[in-house]
Structure 1
């Protein structure tokens, strides 16, 4: 099923390997808050690499690029970023293909 929107796949790396659980819990909370509070976001899903638990993927779908940028102005997003638990390795903007 094709769904228009602004899709992001972000690869993250946990900065401190001793904080894997803390980081995953913080990101799970961010995922919940984003989906509950941002009507312009319909997918915000965390994945963890089985071979390397410090590597994470965030799959995101926003209604528009503006909704994506608004996500970074939210208090809970700013609070997560201030904790400096992860760094962005790379990110991709993509479209659904039939």
Structure 2
């Protein structure tokens, strides 16, 4: 598999209320399915920690920073954010060497 330069995002997020882990998983799956359909988004994967089920890692790749910013204007992203299920623990923006 060849990787190409772009606007890569890795984010560690944590569920705010552990009683909502299953709901969060459902909503993250919806976010994942819808985000990968966005123009400019070529990777959007959600991973759940094996050590702590309330921790998730998001792997994302956008064509550029503008595509990433537009991601937050889509209804599916606004819907997820407005539910206030998770908080960002760490966030990295990187690119391929």
TM, length-normalised to structure 1:
0.94
Structure 2: where are the runs of 5+ without partners? none
Task: Find out whether 1:20 has 2:21 as its counterpart.
Answer: yes
2:63 aligns to what?
63
CA distance in 1, matches of 2:35, 2:78: 12
CA distance in 2, matches of 1:89, 1:71: 20
Displaced runs of 4+ in structure 1, greater than 4 A?
none
The Cα of 1:4 is off from its aligned counterpart by 1.0
* SS in structure 1 at match of 2:90: strand
Number of residue pairs matched by the alignment: 96
CA distance in 2, matches of 1:2, 1:44: 14
CA distance in 2, matches of 1:92, 1:43: 15
The Cα of 1:82 is off from its aligned counterpart by 0.6
Task: Find out whether 1:95 has 2:90 as its counterpart.
Answer: no
* SS in structure 1 at match of 2:42: strand
TM, length-normalised to structure 2:
0.95
CA distance in 2, matches of 1:90, 1:2: 23
Structure 1: where are the runs of 5+ without partners? none
Q: What's the Cα RMSD here? A: 0.8
